Amino acid sequence: MDQIKIIQKGSSRRNKSRMEIPCICFFTCFLVIFCLCGLFSAKSEGKENPAFPEAKPVVPEAKRMVLDILVPTKMLKNTAVLKSMMRVPRALFVPRDLRSFAYQDFALPIGESQTISPPFVVAYMTEQLDPRPTDKILEIGTGSGYQAAVLSPLVSEVYTIEIVRSLGLRADSLLKKMKYENVHCRVGDGYLGWPEAAPFDKIIVTCSPESVPKPLIDQLKEGGKILIPIGDRYQQYFYMITKKGSELVKETLIPAFFVPMTGKAEEERKKQPDPKNPELVGGNFEEHQEIRVWASGEKGDPVKVSSENESAGEKEDSEILAAESGKTQLVPNGWYYTRNVSVEQEPSAPEGNFVLVFDNLRIAEEHAQKEMEEERLRNQEKMLERGQSYLPRRTSFSQMSAGQKYHELTSHALQAFALDGLLVRKLNISCWIRGMDIVPYGHRQTMPVLTLTFFDKDRNSLGESIIVAVPAKDFGWKYFERKEIPVPRKAREGSIRIGVLDGVGQIAFDDIRLGKYGKKSSDKKPKKEVRKNSKEPSKEPSADTQGEDAKDHSESSSKDK
């Protein structure tokens, strides 16, 4: 029996080993297939998100632009977007003769009457689009390719269309050379979209039509979004449009100013600008709307930044990039690129019931207080023994650069208008201004508060003129007027900039009027009576490009793409 048992046991082992062979082969094959699937899955994931922002090297100038210029706006808080902008060399996307201005926050001409948008506009639009690694994006208006380059590491695929052939081919060549492999370029009319690649998760439009082109709506996925500047030629707003079945849910964002969408969209434009009769819109600030000024985050919550795979410097930058809680404010219709500005109701307004107030005084005072506190802490540390547990903690204000502090003080608003220097030789500008605690920068005795810039047909700046400068003191409502302002013959567009320019303080504006010299106006005088000693045109200092306080601010004049 024992022998039989032994034989049976051995037979069992042989049968078991025979069964193990196919099992091992099966599991080996399964393991190989699993690994291959993982490999293809990794490649697929790489295709969906080919290059997370950290994959490309940081460009020092771009990083400084983000930290010194974009972060102080306090309107950007998506750290992935800002990190992506740190890794795109904007200088390569602008003409060689303008590369010294590449990392400043204003638009630059790129030829064919087109411009590259200011970095803030690119960052704001990208953040509003809320890019996800699996998104397939359609961009209308390639331009130089800069916006597509910023989007590239944040999404799966970018399809971008440019109607100007020379610009489209140049951008395609540059993007390929820089290995943005998930960006696909096409020369064509963006109004028609890209039907073969549809549907798209999101569409971003970097030029302005009068209304949303229907082909773009048709090519959008259910639940997809379109970010687009819509409006008249010189008065536009960003709109976020969400497709929900047969309905389009529209959300109004901030004012904007972009070049028009040419081609079929421009042919269908019903309201055309009148370059013979330049004028401003919303100069009395009675028309306004409430907008949210924080760009993203549910209920304005700060973005949580992961510390994984981040060096000390990267982690520190991420903490700086995280924004504060969100809020809303009133902004005036017709004015764009507003910073540290608010529409406020005021019974003593020279015209109507509302005025526009620019105020960077509070920010300057906060800076001064923080500097005093940090100086106190430094002195206290010197008096305490090293290593004591109750040493006060340094605040983060000392980490801010001079550039960050300066750009936090930016307080202005802009508006562009149609103008033809061959038809309009001179302009008149008038306004009411009130000032408080005005401190000009440097050794100035006056501070510029209203400037005028002209642009040629290619949107090159013809220089900025200081039209109104106010004294360094407090004053009530005063009426300022400048007559016969010369217009360059090459001018084909104008832009007015108002605010606390090159200084600190609080400035309020009302009833700003601009018009062709000699044009009759039946409603020139302010409707409301103000203090008697303020009715006459002010004799306070003002300057043009020939004056002592004037300087060429052409590099700081900004107009969106």
> How crowded is the C-beta side of 309, counted as CA atoms within 13 Å?
4
How many CB atoms are closer than 10 A to CB 11? Answer: 10
Q: Residue 444: CB partners within 8 Å, gap ≥ 6?
A: 472, 502, 503, 549
Measured CA distances, 231 to 119, 261, 529 (Å)? 22, 11, 35
Beta strand pairing call for 461-471 and 493-500? unpaired
3 state SS of 212? coil
Out of 84, 117, 208, 461, pick the active-site residue.
117
Determine the Cα–Cα distance for residues 119 and 108; give it in Å rounded to an integer.
11
* Distance between CA atoms of residues 90 and 73, nearest Å: 19
Contact 326, 334 (CB under 8 A): no
End-to-end CA distance of the chain: 96
Which residue in 231, 332, 335, 233 sits closest to 274, CA to CA? 233
Whether the bond between 133 and the residue before it is cis, its omega within 30 degrees of 0, is no
Beta bridge partners of residue 496, listed in sequence order: 415, 452
The answer to whether residue 117 is catalytic is yes
Tell me which H or E stretch contains 16: helix 2-48
Tell me which residue of 104, 130, 133, 134 sits closest to 119, measured CA to CA.
104
| Alpha carbon distances (Å) from 413 to 123, 283, 332, 460, 500 | 19, 12, 9, 20, 10
Q: Calculate the alpha carbon distances from 82 to 29, 79, 227, 303, 516 in Å.
A: 45, 5, 19, 12, 43
* Amino acid letter, residue 216: L
Q: Is 428 in a helix, a strand, or coil?
A: strand
Instruction: Report whether 92 contacts 174 (CB < 8 A).
Output: yes
CB atoms under 10 Å from CB of 309, counted, come to 8
* C-alpha distances out from residue 429 to 29, 233, 373, 441, 455, Å: 81, 21, 45, 25, 18
Determine how many CB atoms are found less than 10 A away from the CB of residue 6.
Answer: 10
Concatenated DSSP letters of 143-199: TTSHHHHHHGGGSSEEEEEESSHHHHHHHHHHHHHTT-TTEEEEES-GGG--GGG--
According to DSSP, residue 397 is labeled: G
- Looking at this protein, which amino acid is placed at residue 81? V
Beta strands in 379-474 (DSSP E): 411-418, 426-440, 446-455, 461-471
What residues are labeled active site?
117
